[in-house]
Amino acid sequence: MASSDQLKQHTISLSVENHFGTLNRIAGLFAAKGYNIDSLTVGETEDAAISRMTIVTRGDDQIIEQILKQLNKLIDTIKVVDLTDEAFVDRELALVKVQCTPLTRMEIMQISEIFRTKVVDVSAKTLTIEATGSQLKVDAIINMLKPFGIKELARTGRVAIKREFQSESQ
């Protein structure tokens, strides 16, 4: 949807009860109400009874307000924070399997170095690169690697956490 691309992206951090079916409830809410999900990650926190979800979504102010309220309304939701207007750290991880020849291998490794990413697997015809960073950085290295031929790509989606010192700028 062209119009949704122009809507502001919001990063919502959400702590939920680590029950079975909780992810389904939240994903189902987005589906039923017709909200976009750009990415969704979920994992345990320091407390095994609690999971943290990071949802990247888009919408105008009214839709975002409804998303936050609807998420809060779910019984399994402990806390919902829209990080968008706060200082926060976010990271994404991608594993990129790129085609290579003896001629291009060095070039790819140089690109990897520039982005401070790691080569984690190598074969006669491929290199696998692990890239960690902001979404922009991950997008950038993927774009750089595209001309060589990407055989496989796995991305995690965004995880985010609020910065302790809100006075520091991002």
List residues binding another protein (CB under 8 A): 16-17, 20-21, 24-25, 28-29, 32, 62, 65-66, 69-70, 72-78
Q: Smallest distance, Å, CB 57 to another protein? A: 16
Task: Find the farthest-apart pair of alpha carbons in the chain and give their distance in angstroms, rounded.
Answer: 57
Q: Smallest distance, Å, CB 75 to another protein? A: 4
Q: Which is nearer to another protein, 27 or 111 (CB)?
A: 27
Q: Smallest distance, Å, CB 63 to another protein? A: 11
**Assigned token pair, 100:** 């290579």
How many C-alpha atoms does 6 have within 13 Å on its Cβ side? 2
Q: Smallest distance, Å, CB 42 to another protein? A: 16
Distance CA 39, CA 54 (A): 8
Q: Which is nearer to another protein, 2 or 48 (CB)?
A: 48
Q: Smallest distance, Å, CB 54 to another protein? A: 18
Q: Which is nearer to another protein, 37 or 78 (CB)?
A: 78
DSSP 56-87: EEE--HHHHHHHHHHHHHSTTEEEEEEGGGS-
For the four alpha carbons of 124, 126, 132 and 134, in that order, the dihedral sign comes to positive
Q: Which is nearer to another protein, 67 or 83 (CB)?
A: 67
Q: Which is nearer to another protein, 28 or 43 (CB)?
A: 28
Instruction: Indicate the burial class of 104 (C-beta count within 10 angstroms; 0-12, 13-18, 19 or more).
Output: middle
